[in-house]
Structure 1
Amino acid sequence: MKWEKALKYTRKHKRMIAVMMAGVIGFACFYSADASVIKDAKKKKNEAQQNLDNINQQINNIQSEQSKVKSQMAAYDEQLMSLLTDMELLKTDIDNKEGEIDQAKTDLAAAQEKEQQQYADMKKRIQYMYENGDDTFLDALVESEDISDLLNRVEYVSEVYSYDRELLVAYQETVQQVADLESQLEQELADMEELKQSYDQQEASLNQVINEKKAQIADFDSQLSNAKTLASQYASTIRKQNEVIAQEQARQEKARKEAEEKAKKAAKAGTKTSNSATTASTDSGTTDSTGGSSSSNNTASTDDSDNSSSGSSSTGLTNNGLNPSYSTGVSGSSVVSYATNFVGNPYVFGGNSLTEGTDCSGFVSLVYSHFGVSLPRSSYALQSSGQAVSYENAQPGDIICYPGHVAIYMGGGRIVHASTPSSGICYGNATYRTITMVRRVL
């Protein structure tokens, strides 16, 4: 009878173990399904993270290129503002030059009128004296009291003629001087008008470049907007997949604990039954060696090392009387003498040859480089070279600076410079335009 009870217990205990094993197997299958969800979420997350890293690199590249274009546009804007300032000063110079020409024309008309009046008066006196010359000299001979009186009378006639002649010559010289001045002023005005055309072309060119840069910046803005939108989408995908992973891990942990708790309870119940069966079978001398089953500590290990990378990559969303001393041994007169060798050669914008052609800044820099003095190539930069000098203290070899133009001072109020395409390298009047500054580089 005791044997039958023991056998009955053994069968019941086996059924309990079978139930526990089925639960463990079922949990393992459930965990396997959850692990597949986590693996799929991690795969999507890693793909999104890689895409996000690529987009962030594109954003950095776009921002870098955009920054370069903005710097270029700022430089062009600065050139345009300087050019517009030069154009305003040139307009003032042109207006003043036109006023000087009008005055020269008025002076020339007055001088020509005086010349014609003197010429008419002289002709009348000459005609009177020489048409009646014999009578005049006869009267002088008869009416004179002595030889001295006679000589004085004859000398008077000669003096009147000489006086008229000298006065007429003086008037003629004045007329020529005024006419030459008018011609000079007209040439200076023509040079300014030609320079104005050059300024207009430069302005149009700068505006075109600036508009192109603006278009590039706008295109970069569009690219950045699209890239940031993609970055936001990838970041959102990463956050969602992290949530899926976290939820599945929490669900796994909960199921693991529940299964573990059930196993512990089942093991505890099995131990009690086993103890009862052992007591019941003591008379048969047999002992049930099927003690309670140890809990299966098959804790699901989840590798989420990728989680740390979710926050490691930025989405791009969150994250006067001046006269300085000379500092070189070069003579300013030597510079001027050398520069004059090229008078008559052509003006070529951007050219770098004193014989084949160059522009104003090229002419200055090339002349000084002959003496070992290195100077900038642009007229704007030359205005900051060397030391400032007051115009009243300007010496041969100094650089005279005008709005957008430079020349070499010869002394005596004269300059030599590469003027315009029509004038080429020529001499000029230092004050023909507004002088912005004088620089001493020797």
Structure 2
Amino acid sequence: MIRGKKILGALLTFTLCFSMVIPAQADDISDAKKKQQELEQQKNTAEAEKSELSSELDSIVSKMEKTQSDLTAKENEINDAETELVTAKANEDDQYQTMKLRIKYMYENGSNEFLEILMEANSIADLLNKAEYINKISKCDRELLVEYEDTRKDVENRENALKKEYAKLESLQDELAGEQANVEKLLADKNIQINNLTSEISSNADKLKQLIAEAEAAEVRRKEAEATAAAQAAQA
């Protein structure tokens, strides 16, 4: 009888120990599940942020391609303007030389002093400012000279404007390149974060699986202990 009571007491103590272990395991499982949910949420957030960064990068790349296309087109316009400017300057100079020859012809029988002053003119402005000769220049020649001069100035102004636009496009391209590098860095960091979270999720999932298996095994042992205790009590 005494031996039976001792056995029963031992079994009850064993069962009590199990009853203390199982709640602790349940807490561990609950914590692991909560952590798993938090990690999954963090990963989902990180992946959403990655998607936004990818879209931003695509937009920047698209802008850079557009800007590069604009730069190429602007460069072609500048080259065309430079060619036009060379032609305009040549036409202006030809007309200037033609006028000088025409005036020389007009005064070839005149005063040598006048002819010398005329031929010493070193610019269009200098020539036109010599009032004593302006009245002798034909209206057609003067109009042509002014037209060529205006054309040359227009081309120069257009070329300068194109160069300024080109400089602005280059500045924009540099800014976009900086933005691209920044977003690419953020994307790289985000990929690292996602990879780390994936590893944590996998590790925590393994831990949770192990905790559940241990809890199930403990529950089996507890039931077996209770059954044994009940059987021993019945025999005592």
TM-score range, shorter chain: 0.7 to 0.9
Q: 1:189 to 1:181 in 2, by over 3 A?
A: same
Partner Cα separation in structure 2 for residue 28 and residue 132 of structure 1: 155
Task: Give 1:74's aligned amino acid.
Answer: S
Q: Tell me which residue corresponds to 2:206.
A: 229
Q: Mapping of 1:38-187 within 5 angstroms?
A: 38-132=15-109, 161-187=138-164
> Which whole-Å deviations, capped at 9, do the CAs of 1:173-215 have from their partners, x for residues lacking one?
0001001111111111111111111111111111111111111
Task: Give 1:161's aligned amino acid.
Answer: S
Please tell me whether the aligned partners of residues 99 and 137 of structure 2 are also in contact (alpha carbons under 8 angstroms).
Answer: no
Q: Tell me which residue corresponds to 1:356.
A: none
1:41 Cα deviation (Å)? 1.9
Please tell me whether the aligned partners of residues 29 and 212 of structure 2 are also in contact (alpha carbons under 8 angstroms).
Answer: yes
SS in 2 for 1:235: helix
1:65 Cα deviation (Å)? 2.1
1:159 Cα deviation (Å)? 8.4
- Unmatched segments (≥5 aa) in structure 1: 1-21, 135-157, 261-442
Task: Give 1:176's aligned amino acid.
Answer: K
SS in 2 for 1:131: coil
Partner Cα separation in structure 2 for residue 57 and residue 110 of structure 1: 79
1:256 Cα deviation (Å)? 4.4
Instruction: Pick 1 or 2: higher relative contact order, CA cutoff 8 A, min separation 6.
Output: 2
SS in 2 for 1:113: helix
> Which whole-Å deviations, capped at 9, do the CAs of 1:130-154 have from their partners, x for residues lacking one?
33469xxxxxxxxxxxxxxxxxxxx
TM-score of the two chains, using structure 2 as the length reference: 0.83
Partner Cα separation in structure 1 for residue 219 and residue 82 of structure 2: 90
Please tell me whether the aligned partners of residues 55 and 230 of structure 1 are also in contact (alpha carbons under 8 angstroms).
Answer: yes
1:160 Cα deviation (Å)? 5.9
Task: Give 1:113's aligned amino acid.
Answer: A
Greater fraction strand: 1
Greater fraction helix: 2
Partner Cα separation in structure 1 for residue 204 and residue 20 of structure 2: 22
**Structure 1 vs Structure 2 CA RMSD:** 2.0
Aligned with 1:202 (options 165, 174, 179):
179
Matched residues, percent identical?
Answer: 24
- Unmatched segments (≥5 aa) in structure 2: 112-134
Q: Mapping of 1:11-410 within 5 angstroms?
A: 22=1, 25-132=2-109, 161-257=138-234, 259=235
Task: Give 2:151's aligned amino acid.
Answer: T
Partner Cα separation in structure 1 for residue 107 and residue 36 of structure 2: 102
Task: Give 1:110's aligned amino acid.
Answer: T
Which protein shows a greater Rg?
1
Q: Tell me which residue corresponds to 1:15.
A: none
Partner Cα separation in structure 2 for residue 162 and residue 133 of structure 1: 21
Partner Cα separation in structure 1 for residue 228 and residue 136 of structure 2: 134
Q: State the aligned residue count.
A: 213
Please tell me whether the aligned partners of residues 103 and 136 of structure 2 are also in contact (alpha carbons under 8 angstroms).
Answer: no
TM-score of the two chains, using structure 1 as the length reference: 0.46
Partner Cα separation in structure 2 for residue 132 and residue 41 of structure 1: 135
Task: Give 2:58's aligned amino acid.
Answer: M
Task: Give 2:175's aligned amino acid.
Answer: S
